[in-house]
Structure 1
Amino acid sequence: MNEISASIALIVVLFALLGGGVWVGLTLAGVAWFGMEFFSSRAAGDAMAMTIWGSSSSWTLTALPLFIWMGEILYRTNLSENLFRSLAPWVNRLPGRLLHTNVLGCTIFASVCGSSAATCVTVGRMNLPELRRRGYPDAQIIGSLGGPATLGLLIPPSIILIVYGVAAETSIAKLFIAGVVPGLLLALLFSGWIAGWALLHPERVPDSAEGHLPLMGKLRESRQLIPVVLLILGVVASIYSGVATATESAAIGVIGAFLLSAWQKTLSWKSFRDSLLGATRLYCMIALILAGAAFMTLSMGYIGLPRQLAEFVGGLHLSPGMLIVALALFYIVLGCFLDGISTIVLTMGVVLPIIQAAGIDPIWFGIFLVITVETAQITPPVGFNLFVLQSMTGKEITYLARVCAPYFGLMALLLVVLWHFPALATWLPGHM
């Protein structure tokens, strides 16, 4: 009975603070302090200080600001300006032609920055006007940007995978490698959808303005993009080969980004300062959320909520498949109101004991969870990618949600495939 009253009180306090506009990190810490102070015998102040310091000084977490900084540096190079011109020759003969530049551009830039909103802005800033100028339908342009931009959450190095790894105490290097195959498979599904639409509506695909280029001509057009791709492959390869840890590979990525920026003559005192300040701001926001979540996890442990909930779910005798379906629906609904990082850190303390009791691999679950959170990026009312698209296009949220709906369906399809073929996410990490 005490656990039930504690649960109700904590939920009321949580939504009151969130509804009042309090930052998510401070809300989590506040709810945790309230629960520990009134529903446990442990001194809240001492526990809060020790937990927040312990979570903030974690060596594993060091990879996060470094990968964010790498993305900030590359964001300020000529990458976005050269993206469309570099990719267009490679997709010109595919069904759907230049619409595939959205998918490829998002896949490449997702590997750079790890943020779906930043991916959407950067790729869209260049591709939207170009594709419109060439006569492609607006619905296909926007949909093929909004859906693939969510790849920023899955393809390594991914900020949200680092957050999950820290919250679930799981290997970040293995999570990165686990995200490679599902991320590329999702990109192929997106391109397949565009090709299928183009084959059904050939009259709506404009004729190509560019002639066919030989291989050397394509490489010449892509000369600004190739070093970025090589840097990304180098970072991922250093993790997979065991040459470097996730943190060390992040440091390699930062050094490589600086060298690339210097080579492209975009490295200046202003770009250095702006990249450092941008990375610091974003990391401080995430670190505050993680610190609050760590304290909330400890508080709920003292109250006994995770154990009680795990026993309750266990008493329902759900099969692992039904449990995954229930969790997918739960995260999709929750993602309609909270951003992905907040969603994960808010629920990990409760959900992790449940999936462990069900015998579900935490590496596999991390990939499943990130794909589920991706779907929420294009789901109203609080789909962050929808807001980004609205600011760029001026379209209504309902229209944007409708044109992105096929990509939501493709992500749901990938979840089903991932459940039936878990080796897609677990085979590579198992061979590290």
Structure 2
Amino acid sequence: MLTLTLVLLTALVVLLGSGVWVAFSLMGLGWLGISQFTSIPAGDVMATDIWSASYSWELTALPMFIWMGEILFRSRLAEDMFTGLAPWMTRIPGRLLHTNVVGCGLFAAVSGSSAATCATMGKMSLPELTRRGYDERLVIGTLAGSATLGLLIPPSIILIVYGVATDQSIARLFIAGVLPGLMLVVLFSGYLMLWSWRFPERIPTADEHTSLLEKLRRSRRLIPMLGLIVGVIGSIYAGLASPTEAAAVGVVLSLILARWQGAMNRGIFIEATLGAVRTSTMIAFILAGASFLTAAMGFTGLPSDLAAWIAAQNLSPYMLLVVLTLFFIVLGCFLDGISVVVLTTSILLPMVEAANIDLIWFGIYLVIVVEMSQITPPVGFNLFVLQGMTGKNILSIAYAALPFFFLMMLGVLLITLFPEIATYLPQAMSGP
């Protein structure tokens, strides 16, 4: 086992370090493992597994949700959310900084993407909040941290990937992400309140007093967004539609919404469609490579050997999670979240099951840890998005996001100590 592990780790570092695409790296690792350490014909296994990974019905939801996010990214949704939320935030300590947290939470509920959430909210809130005199570093940090909610709050693209990779119910994973997502929203907003109490002079005074009637009038701008959330997520939770069917509904509703806002024409439609095709193809290609690697690892026996070795160390489930958390944080510094999930699940799943850890809970835990990697250099997608928007050094953006990294670490601790945060709704959904 030691020789195989060293060979594969060395090959992985060499392939990724030399700039080989993640999908090709996964396929190369699988080919190396199966051709050098087994007598199974590698070509036959590759052809079979790549084909079987490409026609999963559950995977159909992936391009649809990505397409929906691409359409909404080009709409006026961020502007409408800011207009509808801002009047309600002026009396809360931290004031309009909370629009980043709540706005990212709402957009995450229809986009499923961290980078799309960051880009969409950032193009509206960054110039507006800095113009009003809010601390620029905190604005950037709030946006970087809150945008990671796009990975957790359903419909989450990465939860679909995890569900397909581990054969778990995507609907149950979606509903499991609701309470942890709200928990992170509360933690982020709580931090903003404490910060504003500590540095009240760095929070601008409220621009104006808005009457209740005016607040309600501006809140009408939120109705399309809430209707979209209810139409997509509500149909899944009510049992009216599968995730794939709900994704199709979401695409139709987002097209109607963008057209109603005057933000949809032939050119934008083609641009959004091509963007969805590129992203979906990339993810599907990575999943195909991961499927082959999973099969190769199964033939070599590495996952079961590794699980047996870890079991022999007599690690408690808590200690195992500590080790895995450190492992995922380090890995996330160099790979995007989807690559981390597909690269590790085949190897780690046996030991997770051996430790009697609920796989639905583990999916939520994994996504929160992967969220942390979105704001850690050198490969933090949200950092790249904000760097493009602000022109600032990526390390300064990472420093601004550091408090939210620790808040997500606190979130991991909370769901570990109180696993019901992630498991209560799926269990209630399944019934007695």
Query: Per the alignment, in what secondary structure is the counterpart of residue 184 of structure 2?
Result: helix
Correspondent of 2:244 among 244, 247, 253: 247
Show the counterpart of 2:16. 18
The answer on 1:29 being equivalent to 2:27 is yes
Show the counterpart of 1:238. 235
User: Size of the alignment, in residue pairs?
Assistant: 429
Correspondent of 2:292 among 295, 302, 308: 295
Show the counterpart of 1:333. 330
2:142 partner letter:
S
Correspondent of 1:429 among 419, 426, 430: 426
Aligned positions of 1:126-145 closer than 5 A: 126-145=124-143
Shift of 1:5: 2.1
Normalising by structure 2, report the TM-score: 0.97
Unaligned stretches of 5+ in structure 2?
Answer: none
The answer to which of 195-204 and 147-156 deviates more is: 195-204
The answer to whether the Cα contact below 8 Å between 1:74 and 1:257 also exists between their aligned partners in 2 is: yes
1:71-122: per-residue Cα shift (whole Å, max 9, x none)? 1111121112323222211111111111111111111111222221221111
The answer to whether the Cα contact below 8 Å between 1:114 and 1:152 also exists between their aligned partners in 2 is: yes
What is the rounded CA distance, in whole Å, between the counterparts of 1:223 and 1:245 in structure 2? 29
The answer to which of 167-176 and 137-146 deviates more is: 137-146
What is the rounded CA distance, in whole Å, between the counterparts of 2:372 and 2:221 in structure 1? 32
Shift of 1:418: 0.4
What is the rounded CA distance, in whole Å, between the counterparts of 1:391 and 1:272 in structure 2? 24
Correspondent of 2:346 among 340, 344, 349: 349
Show the counterpart of 1:77. 75
Q: CA RMSD in A?
A: 1.2
Query: Per the alignment, in what secondary structure is the counterpart of residue 306 of structure 1?
Result: helix
Query: Per the alignment, in what secondary structure is the counterpart of residue 379 of structure 1?
Result: coil
Shift of 1:388: 1.9
What is the rounded CA distance, in whole Å, between the counterparts of 2:376 and 2:17 in structure 1? 20
Query: Per the alignment, in what secondary structure is the counterpart of residue 97 of structure 1?
Result: coil
Query: Per the alignment, in what secondary structure is the counterpart of residue 56 of structure 1?
Result: coil
What is the rounded CA distance, in whole Å, between the counterparts of 2:381 and 2:175 in structure 1? 26
Show the counterpart of 2:380. 383
Shift of 1:219: 3.1
Unaligned stretches of 5+ in structure 1?
Answer: none
Correspondent of 2:94 among 82, 93, 96: 96
The answer to whether the Cα contact below 8 Å between 2:110 and 2:228 also exists between their aligned partners in 1 is: no
Correspondent of 1:176 among 164, 174, 177: 174
Shift of 1:234: 2.5
Show the counterpart of 1:269. 266
What is the rounded CA distance, in whole Å, between the counterparts of 1:110 and 1:62 in structure 2? 20
Show the counterpart of 2:61. 63
Show the counterpart of 1:120. 118
1:168-218: per-residue Cα shift (whole Å, max 9, x none)? 11111000000001001101110111011111221211111132231x422
What is the rounded CA distance, in whole Å, between the counterparts of 2:365 and 2:196 in structure 1? 30
Correspondent of 2:305 among 305, 308, 313: 308
The answer to whether the Cα contact below 8 Å between 1:83 and 1:123 also exists between their aligned partners in 2 is: no
1:268 partner letter:
N
What is the rounded CA distance, in whole Å, between the counterparts of 2:36 and 2:197 in structure 1? 63
Show the counterpart of 2:407. 410
1:348 partner letter:
T
Correspondent of 1:221 among 218, 223, 236: 218
2:177 partner letter:
G
Query: Per the alignment, in what secondary structure is the counterpart of residue 221 of structure 2?
Result: coil
2:327 partner letter:
F
Show the counterpart of 2:200. 202
What is the rounded CA distance, in whole Å, between the counterparts of 2:426 and 2:313 in structure 1? 32
The answer to whether the Cα contact below 8 Å between 1:32 and 1:300 also exists between their aligned partners in 2 is: yes
What is the rounded CA distance, in whole Å, between the counterparts of 2:105 and 2:71 in structure 1? 18
Shift of 1:259: 1.8
Correspondent of 1:165 among 163, 172, 185: 163
What is the rounded CA distance, in whole Å, between the counterparts of 1:88 and 1:82 in structure 2? 10
1:64 partner letter:
L
Shift of 1:360: 0.3
The answer on 1:39 being equivalent to 2:22 is no
1:253-297: per-residue Cα shift (whole Å, max 9, x none)? 111112212222323222221111111100000000000000000
1:328-373: per-residue Cα shift (whole Å, max 9, x none)? 1110111011110001100000111110010000000000000001
What is the rounded CA distance, in whole Å, between the counterparts of 1:304 and 1:46 in structure 2? 18
2:216 partner letter:
L
Query: Per the alignment, in what secondary structure is the counterpart of residue 88 of structure 2?
Result: helix
1:289-345: per-residue Cα shift (whole Å, max 9, x none)? 000000000001101100110000000000111111111111011101111000110
2:184 partner letter:
L
Shift of 1:397: 2.7
2:64 partner letter:
L
What is the rounded CA distance, in whole Å, between the counterparts of 1:191 and 1:77 in structure 2? 26
What is the rounded CA distance, in whole Å, between the counterparts of 1:379 and 1:267 in structure 2? 35
Seq. identity, %: 57
